[in-house]
Structure 1
Amino acid sequence: MPFSLLKYGLSSEYPAEVDLPAPKDLKPSYDVVIIGGGGHGLATAYYLSKYHGVTNVAVLEKSYLGGGNTARNTAVIRSNYLTSEGVKFYAESVRMFKELSNEFDFNIMYSERGQLTLAHTDATVRAFRQRAEVNKHFGGRTEMIDRQQIRELVPTLNMDPGHLPVLAGLWHIDGATARHDAVAWGYAKQAAKRGVEIHQLTEVQDFVVENGRIKAVKTNRGTVQCGCAVQAIAGASSLLMNKLGIRAPIHTYPLQAMVTQPFKPFLDPLVSSSALHCYVQQTGRGEVVIGGGSDPYPLYNTRSTLELKEGLLAHAIEMFPFLANARLMRQWAGMTDMTPDYSPIMGRSPIDNYYLDAGWGTWGFKSTPICGKTMAELVASGGKTPALIAPFALERFSTFQQVNEMGATAASH
């Protein structure tokens, strides 16, 4: 084996393949400029090149590839939402996630483990029954389970935490996880193979707008003309929209999470409780990931706080008491761009050739494949909105047709 490795290392064919081409200068113009080199921006570029033959595309990322919210989430994939529009959209995303490793020829470490959401009150049980039926009707695999089934599923769970005994659970069979950086790199690698240019350390600073259309994008590396532009920058969405005078009801809040030292496997499903404002999962490496709701105040920052850590850990210990002896390894935060109805904004903007992929809050990672595919279809068609994302248009806030997903998260905001 050592001889084989040495022979491979000294071979003229090594390395056999690189994931991304070497950095290059920006071209003077592109058909499409995608702002944001996270999962959504890279997925849009990939589907534009693969399904629509649009390859004169530049993805502009102000930092490193997938270094924003894509790298700062807890990688949960699910479709157990509240509305018919939400369930249909996310169920299609789950279906696409299952095939990504084969499509990329790149392992995204997709792991279907199921998600268990705990009900602590009669009102929550009633709400979960309705939610289960909506999910079943629109393609999700979700069902109600009782206390005994929960004990069998998660033997280490404390069924009677404090004054909030567990009454029942919403069991979402399709709940899964994947490597967030692998998803970003898989899309980047395949998009680059098809001619898409990916420019890291390239920050969009302003725009040139003429006659109600984007003519050019100004960056720290120069100005590039474009046929159209797509915004996919998550937590900083409202900052860029403000430069163009686009009004949207988006407020950005920090969202924190943390991870413990590794343990031998004891928890396969993802377990969450909106009453305790906490969710817990165990990674393939044995670490326990603990997360909860967003901070209660707006902030464009990804700092961590002792106050949030103490609160989250107290609730995690109520669910799994033995975690009181666990050592915390690290803590991090992302920026969640929240809308009033807790649903994203996808589609056209008041500027003809500027498209919005924003307002994701805590839903962004799990929507990556289907958002990229539908946004690519929107761009390639010149602005014809696909039916699947039509309910998520910006104008729904002025026509009072919100898609209310408040309470659909694993931990209440």
Structure 2
Amino acid sequence: MAPRTPGADLPEHPEWLWSSPEPKASYDAVIVGGGGHGLATAYYLAVNHGMTDIAVLEKGWLAGGNMARNTTIIRSNYLWDESAGLYEHSLKLWEGLEDELDYPLLFSQRGVLNLAHSLQDVRDSVRRVNANRLNGIDAEWLDPAQVAEVCPIIDTSEDLRYPVMGATWQPRAGIAKHDHVAWGFARALDRMGVDIVQNCEVTGFERVGDRIVGVETTRGPIRAGKVAMAAAGHSSVLADTLGLRLPVQSHPLQALVSELLEPVHPTVVMSNAVHVYVSQAHKGELVLGAGIDAYNSYSQRGAFHTIERQMAAAVELFPMFARAHVLRTWGGVVDVTPDASAIVGLTPFEGLYVNCGWGTGGFKATPGVGWCFAHTIANDGPHPLNAPFSLERFTTGALVDEHGASGVAH
């Protein structure tokens, strides 16, 4: 067989933006998970560290997990310094990523409102605005009249069950098209010679003592100098094959879209009290997300009552949406840690690295965590931005507790 020329004359159509090679017997590095984080990690390994003998292994189709099932909100207005640092780094990468990948990501910096509905919400929100400003992140506190100026379709009347008492506002925040992000990374990786192998489920690891030397897959064993896990909600399943218990629980997370509407919603609105977040996609459909289903599950669907509550919350904030029709609903599998922050770093096994525990905040971190995780893999040590998110913090107690500190869609 003639050698593959990476990206050579591939038609500009999604399924032809990258090749589908057979996996080789060995690679310098294998990344488990072909979602946004796995693709971004491979990309920055190649661009920043010169590693291109890499395979990205995806058990299904490219970006068919949480990458294609999220509500695409991008922001960096997190409370704690550690979270704010990582997400702000990511946002800065988002701001140049479309040009860097030379692919239309539909990145739209339309801003994000986080609503406050009680005096405690107001205190917490003003605290977060001040913390953001100390970290050099754009953040403002808006009163109800200013909220109405930014998003006139929000009901800001005072006689509501949860009246809008103000909101935090991050103008640089926004949304992007999740599929396009995956396709842009995949095309760039293919052109650099990185193998993207779909329908290749990792079922276990090859080890010599405490060193990981490869993976077992449904398409045969693959040797690797380094193995990186970026498998989101199924990270704990993979780790269990090594007897490694990750402090992660997996839950369904649901979202929905409406029929196509004329442009009516200019920004992204998030509310912790009524627990919904709403934006309008580029084509015109409303995109609505809610909180996680309470039970543990690896299924990509959730309970109907969650959708009912989500729609009721949206109508309470936006009465004009009462007559909109739901077009479709879907679910993803989110991985949640005890402190609601991610795990990015080394493991007790040499040559094995883990990136998981992002809960509902993984999409916005895509380029930033890819950058930092690639650094960790290439240097066998964490980047300063992901050093606080080590697995060891659950032993030392140095937690990064973001429970409710940064709005509904963490």
> TM-score normalized by structure 2?
0.95
Post-superposition shift, 1:384? 1.8
Of 97, 103, 108, 2:105 maps to 108
CA distance in structure 1 between the aligned counterparts of 2:98 and 2:341, rounded to whole angstroms: 28
Q: Which residue number in structure 1 is paired with residue 5 of structure 2?
A: none
Deviations 1:99-127 (A, max 9, x none): 11100111101000100111111111111
Confirm whether residue 91 of structure 1 aligns to residue 106 of structure 2.
no
Instruction: Tell me the SS of whatever aligns to 1:171.
Output: strand
CA distance in structure 2 between the aligned counterparts of 1:15 and 1:156, rounded to whole angstroms: 42
Instruction: Tell me the SS of whatever aligns to 2:345.
Output: strand
Q: Which residue number in structure 2 is paired with residue 287 of structure 1?
A: 285
CA distance in structure 1 between the aligned counterparts of 2:10 and 2:196, rounded to whole angstroms: 23
Post-superposition shift, 1:200? 0.2
Post-superposition shift, 1:289? 1.1
Indicate conservation of the 8 Å contact 1:140/1:174, yes or no. no
Indicate conservation of the 8 Å contact 1:60/1:200, yes or no. yes
Of 254, 257, 261, 1:263 maps to 261
Counterparts of 1:58-137 in structure 2, within 5 Å, are 58-137=55-134
1:16–1:349 Cα change, 3 Å: closer
Unaligned runs of 5+ in 1: 1-12
- More displaced stretch, 102-111 vs 24-33: 24-33
Post-superposition shift, 1:24? 2.4
Of 186, 191, 205, 1:188 maps to 186
1:16–1:148 Cα change, 3 Å: closer
Instruction: Tell me the SS of whatever aligns to 1:73.
Output: coil
Q: Which residue number in structure 1 is paired with residue 237 of structure 2?
A: 239
1:61–1:293 Cα change, 3 Å: same
Q: Which residue number in structure 1 is paired with residue 162 of structure 2?
A: 164
Q: How many residues align?
A: 399
Counterpart amino acid of residue 44 in structure 1:
T
Deviations 1:120-158 (A, max 9, x none): 111111111110011111121111011110111111111
Counterparts of 1:8-407 in structure 2, within 5 Å, are 15=11, 18-21=16-19, 23-160=20-157, 162-381=160-379, 383-407=380-404
1:338–1:16 Cα change, 3 Å: closer
Post-superposition shift, 1:305? 3.1
Post-superposition shift, 1:15? 4.1
Indicate conservation of the 8 Å contact 2:113/2:168, yes or no. yes
Post-superposition shift, 1:53? 1.1
When the two chains are superposed, the root-mean-square deviation of aligned CA atoms in Å is 1.5
Indicate conservation of the 8 Å contact 1:80/1:408, yes or no. no
CA distance in structure 1 between the aligned counterparts of 2:371 and 2:73, rounded to whole angstroms: 20
1:229–1:173 Cα change, 3 Å: same
Instruction: Tell me the SS of whatever aligns to 1:261.
Output: strand
Instruction: Tell me the SS of whatever aligns to 2:221.
Output: strand
Counterpart amino acid of residue 306 in structure 1:
F
1:402–1:317 Cα change, 3 Å: same
1:112–1:14 Cα change, 3 Å: closer
Q: Percent identity?
A: 42
Deviations 1:349-399 (A, max 9, x none): 010110000001011110010111111111111x12111100000000000
CA distance in structure 2 between the aligned counterparts of 1:364 and 1:156, rounded to whole angstroms: 28
Deviations 1:210-262 (A, max 9, x none): 12011221100000111010000111111111111112210001000111112
* Runs of 4+ in structure 1 over 3 Å off: 13-18
Deviations 1:131-186 (A, max 9, x none): 00111111211110111101111111111473211111111112110011111111
- More displaced stretch, 384-393 vs 403-412: 403-412
CA distance in structure 2 between the aligned counterparts of 1:352 and 1:387, rounded to whole angstroms: 20
1:173–1:220 Cα change, 3 Å: same
Counterpart amino acid of residue 83 in structure 1:
W
Indicate conservation of the 8 Å contact 1:85/1:403, yes or no. yes
Q: Which residue number in structure 2 is paired with residue 5 of structure 1?
A: none
Indicate conservation of the 8 Å contact 2:234/2:298, yes or no. yes
Indicate conservation of the 8 Å contact 2:79/2:406, yes or no. no
Unaligned runs of 5+ in 2: 1-8
1:164–1:15 Cα change, 3 Å: closer
Indicate conservation of the 8 Å contact 2:10/2:17, yes or no. no
